[in-house]
Amino acid sequence: MKIKQKKFVIADIHGNIKALKQCLERSNFNYDEDMLIVLGDLCDGYKYVKDCIDELLKIKDYVFVLGNHDRFVLDWLETGYIEPLWAKQGGENTMKSYGYEKPPQTHIDFLNNYHGVYIIEKEEKKYIFVHGGLDWKKSLEEQKLYDIIWDRELLHVAWMTHTKTKKPNHMYTDFDKVFLGHTTTQFYKTVEPMFVCNIVALDTGAGWDGKLTIMDIDTLEYFQSDWCHELYPDEKGRG
């Protein structure tokens, strides 16, 4: 009997291999059968980006959505230029992960094989997966890659609508659910995922001292790593 595929999403791993392995183990993720959508910012944070990509390459069915930090890394690989802001925001540890040398081609291919957004349609439901956010006033075709990997406005406006104006059922965009990362929920005084209007925010601070979160897309059940400052008591991630 064929095992029913589960679909999971994870955001902002930031080179945190210990947290990644914990999330995959605690969710009972099946490397051969299940699907994993990575919502960008795999890179820049803790110094184990190489190990994280090695682990993700073991998964048969994965989708990689580009994050702003991954774009920094691709720019470095394409031009050799080390952007000072990038180096200070975790880029130094990404380079250190590879011994300051060019990553193997399989890793470069992994990063280059990205999606700006990823869409799942199932049983009349439409879900979209993006790193930063979307301009809900524009069509999907009008969105620019730079904007969607850097956007923080969608989450904040949805949070304001949900908490301040008490309209939790308000819909932003034409999608039933918008899964995103980029903006750590620590800014909103939590290390749990946030459900605000139709937005699901999944960056729970794994690049800093928070936790990493993996979520079952169908059930919205989620599993988290230990606190990152406990996983790496003698190391810092970003900054």
Is 239 domain-assigned?
no
Strand-pair category, 7-10 with 213-216: antiparallel
Q: Which helix (H) or strand (E) holds 130?
A: strand 125-130
Q: What is the pLDDT of residues 65-75, one digit of tens each?
A: 999 999 999 99
Which tokens go with 206? 């794994």
Residue whose token pair is 């524009």: 138
pLDDT category of residue 2 using cuts at 50, 70 and 90? low
Q: What average pLDDT does this structure show over 42-59?
A: 97
Does residue 161 sit within a domain? yes
Residue 9 near residue 214, CB atoms below 8 Å: yes
> Residue 54: its pLDDT value, please?
98
Q: What is the mean pLDDT of the chain?
A: 95
Q: Is residue 206 part of a domain?
A: yes
Between 214 and 238, name the one with better pLDDT. Answer: 214
Q: Which two tokens stand for residue 159?
A: 């949070």
For the segment 13-39, the average pLDDT, to the nearest whole number, is 98
If pLDDT is split at 50, 70 and 90, which confidence band does 238 have?
confident
CB 134 within 8 A of CB 154: yes
Whether the pLDDT of residue 1 is over 60: the answer is no
For residues 117-127, average pLDDT? 93
Cα–Cα nearest to 13, from 58, 73, 89, 69: 69
Give the CATH number of the domain where residue 225 resides: 3.60.21.10
Number of domains the chain is built from: 1
Q: How confident is the model at residue 166 (pLDDT cuts 50, 70, 90)?
A: confident
Residue 168 in domain: yes
Which tens digits make up the pLDDT trace of 179-210? 999 999 999 999 999 999 999 999 999 999 99
Domain extent for 24: 7-230
Plot region of 51 (φ>0 → left; ψ -120 to 50 → alpha; else → beta): alpha
217-to-34, 56, 138 alpha-carbon distances in Å: 11, 18, 25
> Residue 76 falls within a domain, yes or no?
yes
pLDDT at site 239: 62
What pLDDT is stored for residue 124 in this prediction? 86
pLDDT, one tens digit per residue, over 76-110 is 999 998 989 899 999 999 999 999 999 999 999 99
Give domain status of residue 2, yes or no.
Answer: no
* Residue 132 pLDDT exceeds 60: yes
Asked if residue 238 is part of any domain, the answer here is no
d(CA 154, CA 183): 10
What does the angle CA 58 – CA 60 – CA 63 come to, to the nearest 5 degrees?
A: 100
235 within some domain? no
**For residues 19-45, average pLDDT:** 97
The average pLDDT across 29-49 equals: 97
Q: What's the pLDDT score for residue 193? A: 98
Q: Give the whole-number percent of the chain exceeding pLDDT 70.
A: 98
pLDDT at 65: 98
pTM, full prediction: 0.96
- Proportion of the chain above pLDDT 90, given as a percent: 89
